[in-house]
Structure 1
Amino acid sequence: MRANQVVMVALNNLEKAEKIRDMLCTEGYEVVAVCTSGSELIRRALIYDQCLILIGYNLVDMNINEVYNALSETCSFLALVNEPYKSFVQESTDMFCISNPINKVVLGNAIDMIFQGQKKLHKLKEKVESLECKIEERKNIEKAKGILMETMGLSENEAFKYIQKTSMMTGRKMDEVAKEII
């Protein structure tokens, strides 16, 4: 099984959806749901942190845009659509589309590319969070330096060294010392 590669299949034709599920399972993907309705798909998709939804244009109760609007923040999509719908879906969403009839190799390659993109996006999000944290820490240190400069008459360099020395002596991060000063 391919690690952390959760897939859901959503088509209005249950027989076709089950064939796709079987095809994916033989390729090692974890297919956790086969749905014909958008409401069921949404309910099931909210259980998973990240998943890939293979979806047709129309489901029993919703169309592809309605499902996409509900889940685009948490899920990736691969639209399995007929050629006339392909350009419409690509213009109105950021979904990757493949046309019917479904080719096993094309489907596998598309899924692998989407999962690879998910991994890259996840790494970028982690990097952004780390940088935001560092910026916040830097702001705290700058505020604390300002307070020390004003209250103790220190230069900017002296204020920084004071925070740094206190950090080293107490075994705490400079940000923690800065928060205490603030």
Structure 2
Amino acid sequence: MNNIIVAFPNEKIAQKIKKILTQSGYSVKNVCTTGAAALASMGNLESGILVCGNQFVDMRYTTIFEYMPPSFQMLLVASPQAVDDRFVVGDDKQRLVCLYLPIKVHELLETIEMMDYSINRRKKKRKKLKERTPEEKKQIEEAKAILMNRNNMTEEEAHRYIQKRSMDNGISFLETAQMILSLLG
């Protein structure tokens, strides 16, 4: 589960939403009543979801969104009239989700669940894209060389073979290469 920050200018509303979320098993890290406090709370966390209203005494949701860390998503709870559809464009649209007032508890929880899943999926993608060490690159090249020599494959065919086996078995490309080395090397 990701970090959740609840920010509404009205403390009672913020506490009600926090109570709903915590009773449903979510971890609410902080409750804020200003935009500045919400931004400060997000700055102390790696990633998460900001559940907030549209207008605070110090700023609007648009300003918070502009300064929000890229690893955060915003769940804006507001009336349809308060939401500026032209504000968010491109990839940022995935980081802003709106729930229109009045909200239902199950809608709130389903939306939080969807956003939580999206953040976790993005984290996994980032982990997969990490740079390989020279040792890992060497193991992959050795596995390809074995396949090329034993099966008369080109380098591209050997690469595709390892890639297909890793997808079929649900394991990483590197793990598949290591298995080839242990079995055939």
Is the pair's TM-score, using the shorter chain for normalization, greater than 0.5? yes
2:120 counterpart residue number: 119
In structure 1, the residue matched to 2:83 is 86
What TM-score do the two structures reach when normalised by structure 2?
Answer: 0.65
Q: Residue 50 of structure 1 is aligned with which of 47, 57, 81?
A: 47
Q: Give 5+ residue unaligned stretches, structure 1.
A: 139-182
Is contact 1:9-1:33 (8 Å) kept? yes
SS of equivalent to 2:108 = helix
- Paired with 1:100 and 1:90, the residues of 2 have a C-alpha distance of 19
Structure 2: distance between partners of 1:17 and 1:65: 19
Does the CA contact (< 8 Å) of 2:62 and 2:87 recur in 1? Answer: no
TM-score, normalising length: structure 1: 0.66
Determine helix, strand or coil for the equivalent of 1:133: coil
What fraction of aligned residue pairs are identical, expressed as a percent? 22
1:2-41 equivalence runs, <5 A: 4-41=1-38
- Deviations 1:20-58 (Å, cap 9, x if unpaired)? 111111111111111111111111111111121001111
Structure 1 consecutive aligned stretches of length 4 or more whose deviation exceeds 6 Å: none
Displacement after TM superposition at 1:88 (Å): 2.5
- In 2: Cα distance, 1:67 partner to 1:89 partner: 16
Q: Using the TM superposition, give the Cα deviation of residue 134 of structure 1 relative to its aligned residue in structure 2, in angstroms.
A: 6.5
Indicate conservation of the 8 Å contact 1:90/1:97, yes or no: no
State the secondary structure of the residue aligned to 1:102. Answer: coil
Q: Give the structure with higher Rg (CA).
A: 1
AA aligned to 1:122 is K
How many residues are aligned here?
135
What SS does structure 2 have at the residue aligned with 1:98? strand
Q: Is the 8 A contact 2:4 2:30 kept in 1?
A: yes
